[in-house]
Amino acid sequence: MFPHVVGLDHAVILVRDLDRAHETYERLGFTLTPRGHHSLGSQNHCVMFGRDYLELMSLPAAPPAAFQYFAEFLSDGEGVGALALATDDAAAVHAELTKAGIPAEAPLALSRPVKDLGEARFTLVQLPPAETPGFRTFFCEHHTREIVWRPEYQRHANGVAGIKSVTIATPDPVRYARLFDGLPVAYAGASEPAVAAIRLHINDKNAAADKLKHGGFSFVALKGGALAVGANQAHGILLVFD
């Protein structure tokens, strides 16, 4: 892992209808942040955990060129369109990637207002889509963590405490290894690459099961007691509560 990559930051779940996705994830037992409006026109709701999070994101009606990949992704369906890796220094990680021969784009400063709290600011370093087929990968440095990680949004009725791991479906796991080495990433064989599943750490499986039942979800109990909610119920991503 590159020295200035410090973990998994968040998964971007691209959705066509943000209101509907918000309602779905509330029924799953998550507490969501108020709607955010990015400076490039996208909108989001986040599911915040201790150090990482899920981001439900929709695009403007006429997406700018920067969102071309996401727009094409959504034309095929919803799901995880990007994985963000956490960095403590966007400029430094850009230099590390360039030295390793990885064609990283120049650092991009973005922001979004947070009601009553100010402006959430962050810097991204994006990789071309071809570097990680099936989803985009970018590196995110947060400059205002105290605004983004608020205690009132980190408590969830389903007991989820964080992202345990991400499963990448791919016929060629080696091509992802130099980026995701040392991170909580698993691989599954598949002919078409994609982020196939997100495994979430929960404190109480019985409480999670009750919340899912009351939310109207059908789920499968896996070996070891984990609970799996199919991608057809969670906007394109298999969620495993473990």
Do 39 and 159 fall into the same domain? no
pTM: 0.95
Flag the least confident range among 115-124, 181-190, 205-214: 115-124
Within 99-212, strands assigned E span 108-114, 118-126, 136-142, 160-169, 185-188, 194-202
- More confident position, 41 or 165: 165
Query: Which residue, 120, 152, 184, sits at the end of a domain?
Result: 152
Do 117 and 65 fall into the same domain? yes
Give the model's confidence band at 113: pLDDT under 50 very low, under 70 low, under 90 confident, else very high.
Answer: confident
CATH number, residue 187 = 3.10.180.10
Q: Give me the domain span that covers residue 45.
A: 5-152
Tokens linked to 197:
């599943």
Query: What number of residues does the chain have?
Result: 242
- More confident position, 37 or 236: 236
What is the Cα–Cα distance from 145 to 7, expressed in whole angstroms? 15
pLDDT of residue 114: 82
- Tens-place pLDDT, residues 33-49: 999 888 778 999 999 99
- Tens-place pLDDT, residues 122-144: 999 999 999 999 999 999 999 99
Percent of the chain at pLDDT exceeding 90: 86
Do 201 and 127 fall into the same domain? no
- Number of independent structural domains in the chain: 2
Do 69 and 102 fall into the same domain? yes
Query: Which residue, 101, 119, 152, sits at the end of a domain?
Result: 152
Query: Which residue, 97, 126, 152, sits at the end of a domain?
Result: 152
What is the Cα–Cα distance from 65 to 69, expressed in whole angstroms? 9
Do 132 and 161 fall into the same domain? no
